[in-house]
Amino acid sequence: MSIQWFPGHMTSARRKAAETMARTDVVIEVLDARLPEASSNPMIRELREFRQRPCLKLLNKADLADPAATKAWLDHYDRQPGVKAVAISCKKPGDAARVPALCQQLAPHRNDNIKPLRMMIMGIPNVGKSTLMNALLKRRIAAVGDEPAVTKSQQSFDLSPSLSITDTPGLMWPKIEHDADGFMLAASHAIGRNAVIDEEVATFLAGILLQHYPALLAARYNFSVEGADAVGVVETVARKRGCIIKGSGGELDLEKAAMILLTDYRSGVLGRISLETPESRGAMLAAGKSTPITESDTA
């Protein structure tokens, strides 16, 4: 199954974002630290590169991600021109407070009182943009919810006489090219549930957990992962958590078990987990090529 999700309001939101970026000094792109590249909207990169705007990439929810994978991603992004990457948790006021100074480093020409440093927060739905905005302003001005696409319109505020910031709605892109990206986004709740089948998403997640975090699975659900497959993991969660369809004579409720697994991952109860690394990303892209990899591809 290929997962696609592009609500109607996002077309106008993209148009408005392009207009605002023309007046912006630094783009703050909020990513999910557990899947930084899968949660990076290619349209945002196109817009900022067209306007030649520097980018502060915030790997948010770093407290939920695998620290080793996060470090690899920071190194990866810091090698890109005009980009600075930082791992944070927007729920920690101290982390959010660092953002204006980091933006200032990317736009040294705005280090005066003549014009304010104009920052713009962008990202896909449900990565923490509104939480960051509230933390920066030290008051609740942006709606926050555990559902994607809560914010529907732009909001701009002055942080000080020399700092202004604009929050934008979460932006998806019209076509998700790689099936794995769609499943990673769905597993991390960046895509509305109306566009996915939870059991399929949980099975995809179980496959990654079996490959990279089997000990966390075994510890959380108290079973041996030896010889297990992804479908079997969801079935085991159903048995361990008593997920039985009422009146079925003992038939497993796999949909309920899927939500238990997904919720445990999303909340961090399972442990600190990353769904991709620069290495796994490169392997995925290479596998999708229709022509052999050349030296220039890997340079």
Number of domains in the chain: 2
Give pLDDT tens digits for 243-270. Answer: 999 998 889 999 999 999 999 999 999 9
Domain boundary among 148, 167, 186: 167
For residue 255, being part of any structural domain is answered with: yes
Same domain, 149 and 244: no
CA 207/CA 215 separation, integer angstroms: 13
Residue 236 sits in a domain whose CATH number is 1.10.1580.10
For residue 40, being part of any structural domain is answered with: yes
Q: What's the pTM value of the predicted model, to 2 decimals? A: 0.87
Kindly state the DSSP code that residue 2 receives in the 8-state scheme.
-
Give pLDDT tens digits for 83-111. Answer: 999 999 988 889 999 999 999 999 988 77
Q: What percentage of the chain carries pLDDT values higher than 90?
A: 61
Give pLDDT tens digits for 112-122. Answer: 667 889 999 99
Q: For residue 152, is pLDDT > 80?
A: no
pLDDT band at 292 (very low <50, low <70, confident <90, very high): very low
Give pLDDT tens digits for 154-177. Answer: 888 899 888 999 988 888 887 888
For residue 173, being part of any structural domain is answered with: no
For residue 292, being part of any structural domain is answered with: no
Same domain, 18 and 163: yes
For residue 2, being part of any structural domain is answered with: no
Same domain, 56 and 201: no
pLDDT value for 144:
53
For residue 297, being part of any structural domain is answered with: no
Reading the block at residue 277, the tokens are: 């690394």
Same domain, 162 and 219: no
pLDDT value for 193:
75
Same domain, 103 and 226: no
Instruction: Give the Cβ contact number of residue 149 at 10 Å.
Output: 21
Give pLDDT tens digits for 7-49. Answer: 555 667 777 888 888 899 999 999 999 999 999 999 899 999 9
For residue 4, being part of any structural domain is answered with: no
For residue 126, being part of any structural domain is answered with: yes
pLDDT band at 184 (very low <50, low <70, confident <90, very high): very high
Same domain, 151 and 204: no
pLDDT band at 80 (very low <50, low <70, confident <90, very high): very high
pLDDT value for 151:
53
User: Could you tell me which residue, 177 or 218, shows the higher pLDDT?
Assistant: 218
Same domain, 148 and 212: no
pLDDT value for 260:
98
Average pLDDT over residues 181-186: 94
pLDDT value for 15:
79
Same domain, 158 and 235: no
pLDDT value for 296:
33
Is residue 126 left, alpha or beta, with left meaning phi > 0 and alpha meaning psi from -120 to 50? left
Strand (E) positions, 146-253? 155-160, 163-167
Same domain, 154 and 218: no
Same domain, 131 and 63: yes
Same domain, 113 and 243: no
> pLDDT averaged over the chain?
87
User: Could you tell me which residue, 173 or 178, shows the higher pLDDT?
Assistant: 178
Q: For residue 289, is pLDDT > 70?
A: no
pLDDT value for 291:
36
Residue 18, class by beta-carbon neighbours within 10 Å (0-12 exposed, 13-18 middle, 19+ buried)? middle
Same domain, 223 and 124: no
Contact 90, 136 (CB under 8 A): no
Query: Pairing between strand 155-160 and 117-122?
Result: unpaired
Can you give the residue range of the structural domain that contains 21?
9-167
Residue 97 sits in a domain whose CATH number is 3.40.50.300
Average pLDDT over residues 184-192: 90
